Amino acid sequence: MSSLSVHQCIKLLHNNLEIEPELMYCAIKELISGSTSDILISSFLTAFHPDKLNSNLIRVAIKALREEAIPIPFNQNVMDMVGTGGDGLNTFNVTTASSIIVSASGQTFIKHGSRSSSSKCGAADILEAAGCKLNLTPEQSLKILNQTNYCFIFGPIYHPAWKYVSTIRKELGIRTIFNVVGPLISPLNCIGYRIIGVYNYKFGKIFAEVLIDLGVKRAAIIHAHDGMDEISCYEKTHIWFVDNNQIDEFDLSPEDFGLPRHDLSSIRGSTPDQNYETLLRIFNGENLAQTDFVLMNSAFALVVCEKAKNWKEGIQLAKDIIQSGKAKQLLEKYSKLSQTISDNPVIYPLIPSINNSHPPYVKICGIRDIESALCVANNGGDMLGLIFAANSKRKITLEQAKLIVTEVHSCQHRPLIVGVFANQTVEEINDIVKKVEIDYIQLHGNEGFDIVTKLIKPVIRSIPVIPNETTAEQILNILNQEKQAGWRIAAVLLDTKLPQSNNNDGGTGQTFDWSIAATIGLEYPIILAGGLNPDNVQSAVRIANPWAVDVASGVEKDKNSVEKDHEKIRQFIANVKLSH
């Protein structure tokens, strides 16, 4: 990728001219592509003062950055609170402390953050000082979330392309456009409650409108009169409160929370170790200036997520949580679990993406015995498909599935387990998922939105393709309508459906026009299925460039058998891995 757009932006900025959204989008893509020199990146970040951003530029920047992010497959409403940073006040890590208190109230909380780029201690820094491991996979983080109701998602893991600008940002030591858009690009699509602090008043209403566009349930943008991007314990704080797609503006002061004012010098932050010591003192119930600072921000968050009815009720609830020891216990539990899980790393999961610079991942579907499962695992297969659909000839029993998964989990290369279902109830699917320890749910029936939102694992959406009949445009219309309706799909599986068939069973052994998959794959992560075998899979990959490939009948002994041929499995996997 060239750096032409970055060059153009720098010239326009030098001449005090406006940047159009299309050019901004291309420039952001270039900045995080790895092909732009450090000098150009530094020049762009220095010349483009973040105060020059407007709502349209922020929206396209969010789009460009989220397209490169690794999504988190989680479908339930959660909360996050974060600041833009760059306020220059170097205050104590109040949002991190508050996030733990709010989570201890019963609100599921996934905090998105990173190390500090413009102060001494960021969210990641203080959590690391507390013994928390940061480099966790999405699956590991979600396992901890299920046990604690809290997890921290470390920015560099989910935004790997930021590595091309992070060192330069740190060395510059100034706020940049990344400070502004960073809080808006969480890889989660299910943040029902959000609080974002902004260092500049001008971004308040813009951010509120963007959050409405992103589908938030309730949120607040905050900016203190002293410049702080948190609820200030010294000055009034202006609030843009979002509820039911409406924006209400008002001011809050420490007196509204029933707490005294504290000078900014009393809540200064320090090194990660020193900030962690302060955090422990707060959670141990000491009456510090930082304690009131944390109580105010926690109370505000508890109102936003509907755990408290008003600010003073929120203060009392936050105090109760601290005094009961719940906040400290949660931090200790999270730290211990993160260490335990990171000491036993999961090699996968695979994160669906439309940017496929690697060979496609391989899913072998219709596995029914331990030997075939181990053949897939030991030869580098990435996913095992276990079919629970009632009308499939490859259907597996619950006991068979549990035995297979137990064996596979002991392998050095641990493939993901994909459970395949068709027109089954939410209760039945979730029950099987729990008992078998399934990683992904593949829906092969006519399931609707009401089912997808209640499933406890990320969903692979199967769409049948009738050869010489179904078009890419038709499929995109379906997917785009579902996306607008709020569907949260991890990947789309395209499989052949025969014209005379009344169901979407798959396993037909028939192919379809692979260029259809190539078109869909420009917008959605694609798993290519339908008639693939060791002989044609490389051609399919070259044409479709899918995120993953799926095979069932193509690695079976013959057309009349569902028994897997282990040599075909080995050859299929090897041919896919050699396709790039």
d(CA 275, CA 277): 5
**What is the residue whose two structure tokens read 């391989």?**
362
Closest alpha carbon to 515 in 472, 560, 565, 467: 472
Pick the catalytic residue from 9, 151, 190, 365. 365
Closest alpha carbon to 174 in 9, 51, 30, 343: 51
14 three-state secondary structure: helix
Q: Is 245 left (phi over 0), alpha (psi -120 to 50) or beta?
A: left
Q: What is the CA radius of gyration of the chain?
A: 25
Cα dihedral across residues 157, 162, 167, 169: positive or negative: negative
d(CA 493, CA 229): 43
d(CA 448, CA 234): 51
Phi, psi angles (nearest 5°) of residue 36: -95, 135
365 three-state secondary structure: strand
Distance of CA 153 to the CA centre of its chain: 8
Beta bridge partner(s), residue 251: 238
Q: CB of 159 within 8 A of CB of 71?
A: no
Pick the catalytic residue from 125, 256, 382, 495. 495
530 DSSP 8-state letter? S
Q: Is 365 considered catalytic here?
A: yes
Q: CB of 572 within 8 A of CB of 551?
A: yes
**What is the residue whose two structure tokens read 């607040």?**
220
Instruction: Tell me the CA distances in angstroms from 216 to 208, 239, 487, 527, one per residue in order.
Output: 10, 16, 14, 30
**Torsion angle (degrees, nearest 10) of CA 558, 559, 561, 567:** 30
| Long-range contacts, stretch 470-477, CB < 8 angstroms, 24+ apart | 470/497, 470/512, 470/516, 471/516, 472/515, 472/516, 472/519, 472/520, 475/516, 475/520, 476/519, 476/520, 476/523
d(CA 237, CA 527): 48
Q: Is 233 considered catalytic here?
A: no
The set of catalytic residues is 365, 495
